[in-house]
Amino acid sequence: MPEPRRRPDGERPGRGGAADRGQGQRRGPRRRSAQTPAQRARQADPARAVAFRVLRQVDTEEAFANLVLPGALRSAGLRGRDAAFATELSYGSLRLLGLYDAVVAAAAGRPVEEIDGPVRIVLRLGVHQLLGMRVPDHAAVSATVALARQEVGQGAAGFVNAVLRRVSEQDRQAWVARLVEPVTDPLARLALEHSHPEWVVRALRAGLVSARGPEAAEEELARLLAAHNTPGPLMLAARPGLGAEQELEDAGATPSPVAPTAWTLPQGDPGALGSVREGRAAVQDAGSQLLTLALAQAPLDGSDEQWLDLCAGPGGKAGLLAALAAPRGALLRANEVSEHRAELVRHTLVGPVHGGARVDVTVGDGREVGTVQPQTYDRVLVDAPCTGLGALRRRPEARWRRSPQDLTTLGPLQRALLDSALRATRPGGLVAYATCSPHLAETELVVRDVLKRHPGVEPFDVRPLLRDRSGTPLTDLGPGPWAQLWPHLHGTDGMFVALLRVPGRSLG
């Protein structure tokens, strides 16, 4: 099925289905409810109940929606359109939480902080149906009131009904215009309109200025923010040499032009595919595939027998590295600091191991590897822990969970891991430093700081190694020698990668 055209606001229009099951922002006049109180639903439908429980876990347990939603769908027995509706309702409400809270506050006449947590969640779900999905007003209001009655109580149901009726008096465009009108700062206006924390918008702008220049940054910032609010495609990696391609094609997946190993699955459960269960393929963003391929394909003098993934969990990049290492007879050490995440790595590497790869999964502090095993490895990947600001379209709660204070903890860790990787690499070897973030404090500033401590290390221009399926180098990657991928330009997560060559002497 061809992908539906995007509207000018960057969102996909909804697909067909029952009257209250469409997706996408509705156009046209608001529709008043013709129902009487006796006709309103008394019990929430399963899809909305699942979305409420997922958002409740995210809110109270700091759960990740992409981890808890699949289990919630299975427990409720939701499939097809109902599962798609629950997914869009959950993810969309989380992505646009900032905008929706501002709408709720205006409609309720009080700050959202004064509204009980479960009621806030119900209201966000209702507002997303009214302003972000093709759900008729009467269905959105009555079904959400039923949800409030079931999950919170009768008193909350009346409040929810009143607030949502006020919200339904205007469409999303009118609400945005009303809310941003008194805001004078351009970046603050963008933050509200596109539902991002203001500090994130400013960080993204700085990253665009560095990689794309001031003029391009001004033109592209709104596009980038809109891309974060548009679900990314379900991307799979066909691990080379393991024969997954035919099965992926038979399942309806199509080769992605973005990366040589990338496939797009338009619908269906990837876990149902034998190639995924067996580790011959895996769910993985094309940007992650590109940087992994770049490290493996970079020219290297001398031995090419010892590879290291310093921060391997949960194992996606390690799985691709293992498949690439197998035909060369190289040994991949996949290291992870926690036993739980190391077990995830072992699980994802089952296929490549059976495919002939030599893999050693270890548990240890990556900051110590350079001291314990100096000058040992030929190729090293440092996929450093980061804020994840490059994956906001896939991790809807991340923008609200992170804060600038996180950088004070992550920055020293990122520098220590890169320093350890350089010390663990043999003279003439290569280190790839990667983050799923375009924040300058996590990308080129980290690399520049560490290079000051290792003056002999030479940055290697990684841009020619980032090639699409046809073998053509990608463009718009920045001035180099490192590269920054962007959702609005490349259709990938916002991955950063720098490739560094260790000098032909000890790093002392």
Give the residue numbers marked as catalytic: 436
- 3-state SS string for 67-114: HHHHHHHHHHCCCHHHHHHHHHHHHHHHHCHHHHHHHHHHHHCCCHHH
* Cβ atoms of 439 and 210 closer than 8 Å: no
List the structure tokens of 238.
């066909």
Number of H helices and E strands in the chain, helices first, is: 22, 12
3-state secondary structure of 379: strand
CA distance 486 to 444: 15
List the structure tokens of 132.
């972000």
377 forms beta bridges with 425
Report CA-CA distances (Å) from 389 to 304, 336, 463, 496.
Answer: 33, 22, 21, 11
Cα end-to-end span (Å), the chain: 57
The continuous run of DSSP H or E covering 336 comes out as strand 331-336
CA distance 56 to 41: 22
* Cβ atoms of 307 and 320 closer than 8 Å: no
